[in-house]
A and B are shown apart, each in its own frame.
Chain A
Amino acid sequence: MEFAELLGHIRAALPGAVLEEHPEAFSPWILVARAQLPALALLLRDDPALDFAQLMCLSGTHLPASASESDRLASIFHLFSPRHRHKLGVKVVLDSADPACPSVAGVWPTADWHEREAYDLLGIVYEGHPDLRRILCPDDWEGHPLRKDYVTPATYNGMPLD
């Protein structure tokens, strides 16, 4: 299915879930409401017309504060349907003061580690994740390194960092 068709299908099944659409992007994506994400994820995976069996990638990004907005975090899910050969990016934008995003680890098991990574590096808290711990950094690491405002600490457990 083309992007427009996908969008129509999703809108019909879950009205109000899609907040923005970006067909012009290199990888077209939609912005969805945080509360609707779990339902949308199930729809995307289980609807035979959509059939997004593969979560290709789950990334977090940090959008620094601009003139109009305070800084925000985004979690983006890149989906692919091996059967229909179509792709879709699904993005959720979160306020960095309340970085809670519903987990999709129950829908696509591969999201488990990717979510842990996004939590580790960016501090996005995936609610409902079975085991949300740091994955790359040590458990007692401070801060989330990929945030734009991250300052590398001088030492870690007595060892100089630079």
Chain B
Amino acid sequence: MQFAFGVVLVFLLMGLLIGIAAITFSSLLRPSKPTAQKLQVYECGELPTGTPWMQFNNRFYTVALVFLLFDVEVVFLFPWAVVFKSLGLFAFVEMFVFVGILALGLAYAWAKGDLDWVRSRRFLRPAAAVEKGQPA
């Protein structure tokens, strides 16, 4: 096992090495002529105003949160999945309860609108008839 992980580590290092080699090699060849304007941060040809450190929608946090909890669930279920066949019905019921409880959480988030990306859009009315499709 540690042999295999060693290979993985070598791969990681190899990836780093390729990157470093490429950039080092490139640094030997490439020109470098910084000017004041070249070093301006790009914003469509304008000079940027203010910092980009802006307020982001809390929704990003919600997504990361729900993801984290599902991620954790997956961690538990992977060992379960490996032994599922040997343990049979009992394991299945256990998993069912486990997933079911988390599904409740998802359902709660869904019902409360936490999964809707934008809630305060006054202009986006429901596009009811999207299903109508092509007129005859």
Q: Are A and B direct contacts in the complex by CB distance below 8 Å?
A: no
